[in-house]
Amino acid sequence: MALYTLTVFEKNGEKLLDETFEASNEKDAKNIGTKKLVELHYHEKTHRCISANGKLILFHR
């Protein structure tokens, strides 16, 4: 399992979410991150999901 970090921002730069989670691969991490964004109604906010080594997995501006 690898660590991934999901971060959500307001337009003014305020962090709304900064959460680390585990996933078995990048595809699973993208699915987990997307599901969390929808659950919290953040899917239309600026967000990113990165791997522990800094690789961008998911991004929306």
Q: Within 13 A of 55's CA, how many CA atoms are on the CB side?
A: 11
Q: What is the mean pLDDT of residues 18-42?
A: 97
* pLDDT tens for each residue of 6-17: 999 999 999 999
Tell me the residue range of the domain where 8 lies.
2-60
User: Rounded to an integer, what distance in angstroms lies between the CA atom of residue 59 and that of residue 14?
Assistant: 17
pLDDT of residue 28: 98
Quote the number of domains for the chain.
Answer: 1
